[in-house]
A and B are shown apart, each in its own frame.
Chain A
């Protein structure tokens, strides 16, 4: 790294090197049997440099790439005009590396998976699950010509399991992910078995507005629409509906959203972002009122403010050294309420519990639109789950739908949009447009 920085400093005005090393051991099981282990140990190197006010960018998979500086300089000739200063600020410690988790061998991961499947069999031996367990270890190192040198390590354990329908398609699923080693909770296995049984009855649903409970895993899809609105790049381009809305009440009082990069063992916890800017926790929504936007160095400069420490090389579709940093949240945290999920379901005459969605990435996301295939979801009638809702969609616009939140659950789970994005409760929305094929 020092060599690249030195060479870049001779030929450019300022420079930054990011090195990301990824180790991964995912093990796949189908219907209770192991069928694949796909390990990984790769390195990504990214160089940004500024010459004559223009940015150059090049990447490699090794620090020994002799032409890295040259290629970055070539792009700088035509590069974007930019006026950012690479930072050199104090950073704090954040807990995100679990040495025990990092030490686990693939045999131990396989043993863990078998133990989960054995415990699942205790609930119902006839259910054969598909299971995925993945241990990852990342090392992120950043150096720049302002003198900043930073490095942190991060572990993660991800476990996902799902069951199959009588026809052989995915029925219901469950999963968790953490920086620290965990034992898959008994309660979630019990719930997975229960949902699997409830799903055996298919239930068509009517087309009308009705109460809908979004699970944490599916509420993340709605939150993602809001996050597009507070993205500094979208704000600068005038493509966010939230321009000038700081301090305005946008949502129901019950909704508060934090962005917390320092959460202990959080999935995205880290001391600094991928541009070396220290991270810090902030409120995004407090009691329904918009509090802050997210910026990286570039969008902050354009907006005339400071980076919020949210410049990460991580998007919907790819992440790694080769990506350029964009305003990206770390751990999204939505505090829950006081109502247990069972009580939420119990008091509904009619409604749907959505446990999974398809189409989270489609439609006019920036404008807050969503139109989701419910998969899987459960039809609720007279306070009870009456079967798996099939051929059903839930649609709306978050800037209307989230102005009215009936309740938040006391249970917390992982908020997700394809992968996890943070932590939150089940959310009961009293009036959501549902399209179905039933009467």
Chain B
């Protein structure tokens, strides 16, 4: 049936249709109780038409409505005046299968339940742990793409992982952290993670004795997970070219070659890195994903594009046009965004700080374009080059231009996160990867009491 969907497309302007079959399995423990086991299936498509100045799109879940969906998308597109030319992309006819080392589809539901139950019990066996929220997830995506330029792309994607939220409590003090495992097609990446979990449990229990952080400006060392969220919020979103197409003043700011940070700062976006959540071959408009060097040696070097933004800015496509699922039109998004290794190491960073903070573990972030904020899970005071007592509830924020300039050291221990969800334009929890080595940043604002 899916193969015939391409026949719904007409010849007026550019037209494409995506059809996705999404099977999700989840097993969720809350505390010692099994909270839910679910198997959900969603199927649906989205028709897009660009005949004049902008996109008309129509999302539908009944495959019999595909021709009607294309017509409605065309009608909407005709209501948008102007003329928009898409950047060229090769016509592709390809079928891509996921290649899991150990295929989660071949593992029984019972075995998956036992694995997450085992980790859950491991956490709960520690005194002081009040509760958990331990979830196994598995997403099997069958994505079909047809365009009236002739492309036909079938992509199978598998994502499996375990996320455990750990909640510790003593009297009225309640602290929480989270650990993510997997985030790849490989079931075996979820196994044998006891040590990692034990470490996180200990940190969570230690948080019960931590003092809330005091408000102020600090020199900080951020761990790879925090830095990954930092660069995603502080620079990744600004690299999305849909910010620029109708924004003459911002285009003046985002001039190639402009200095954004120190010479040892390199920022990249790369969907071709396997085994992290931001991986794919073709994006949601059939463009091959490729590595984009956003900041090279401290200077602006590239940005993320859809065919529309690449066409409007006269630049090459990058394969960054993505949708959370079939019910959304794709927009410019990140894939796996990271800071590359630099010349420094953790010991150097530590010894350079007289009075500061070492912050670990991400707890969500947000950006307005020029300002960003993100939460952290665990903090330590740094006094005279040594790690001291624990602090909690540290949330950082700042202006991205000054903060990038304030990066003083970039470590050489790049690590990519195993989970990442990004929200933009109402499309939330798109799978993205991020990562970095440890970095040291001068004079960061931290909210507190």
Contacts and interface: CB of A to CB of B under 8 A. Distances in A.
A10 interface: no
A30 B425 CA distance: 13
A363 B172 CA distance: 17
Contacts of A61: 41-44, 61
Interface stretch (A146-154, A284-292, A371-379): A371-379
A347 interface: no
Contacts of A373: 366, 371-373, 397, 447
B449 A391 contact: no
B77 interface: yes
Contacts of A436: 445
A363 B393 contact: yes
Contacts of B76: 37, 39, 106
B247 A164 contact: yes
Interface in A373-431: 373, 375, 390-391, 393-397
A42 B364 contact: no
Contacts of B175: 364, 367
B246 A31 contact: yes
Given A239-B169, A358-B368, A362-B365, A167 B250 contact: yes
A74 interface: yes
B303 to A, nearest CB: 14
A154 B254 CA distance: 44
Contact of A322 (B31, B42, B428): B42
- Bin chain A's interface residue count: 35 or more
B369 to A, nearest CB: 4
B345 interface: no
User: Which of B33, B37, B369, B375 has the most C-beta atoms of chain A within 10 angstroms of its own C-beta?
Assistant: B37
B80 A34 contact: yes
B83 interface: no
A273 B366 CA distance: 31
Contact of A364 (B110, B243, B393): B393
A435 B24 CA distance: 43
B21 to A, nearest CB: 10
A79 B60 CA distance: 31
B169 A34 contact: no
Contacts of A168: 243, 247-251, 253, 369
Interface size class of B (residues with CB under 8 A): 35 or more
Interface stretch (A52-60, A257-265, A332-340): A52-60
Contacts of B370: 165, 167, 169
A375 B373 CA distance: 10
Contacts of B294: none
A38 to B, nearest CB: 5
B59 A166 contact: no
A437 interface: yes
A237 B368 contact: no
B34 A239 contact: no
Interface string B7-49: 0000000000000000010010011011111111111100000
B72 interface: yes
Contact of B42 (A40, A59, A167): A59
B36 A79 contact: yes
A75 interface: yes
A358 B366 contact: yes
Given A241-B174, A318-B428, A79 B37 contact: yes
B448 interface: yes
A156 B225 CA distance: 39
B169 A393 contact: no
A212 to B, nearest CB: 13
B37 A60 contact: no
A364 B174 contact: yes
B216 interface: yes
A238 interface: yes
B61 A362 contact: no
B375 A363 contact: yes
B79 interface: yes
A36 B54 contact: yes
A75 B23 CA distance: 14
A313 to B, nearest CB: 12
Interface in A342-368: 358-364, 366-367
Given A60-B41, A61-B61, A435-B446, A36 B55 contact: yes
Q: Which 9 A-B pairs have the closest CB atoms?
A: A362-B375, A168-B250, A371-B395, A393-B447, A373-B373, A371-B447, A37-B76, A395-B447, A169-B369
Interface of A: 30-31, 33-44, 46, 55-62, 65, 71-72, 74-75, 77-81, 106-107, 110, 164-170, 207, 233, 237-239, 241, 317-318, 322, 324, 358-364, 366-367, 369, 371-373, 375, 390-391, 393-397, 433-437
Given A359-B366, A364-B176, 15 more contacts: A35-B54, A36-B57, A37-B80, A42-B61, A55-B37, A61-B44, A74-B109, A78-B109, A166-B249, A237-B131, A241-B172, A367-B174, A373-B447, A390-B371, A391-B371
9 contacts: A41-B59, A58-B39, A58-B41, A78-B113, A239-B176, A317-B428, A362-B364, A362-B374, A363-B363
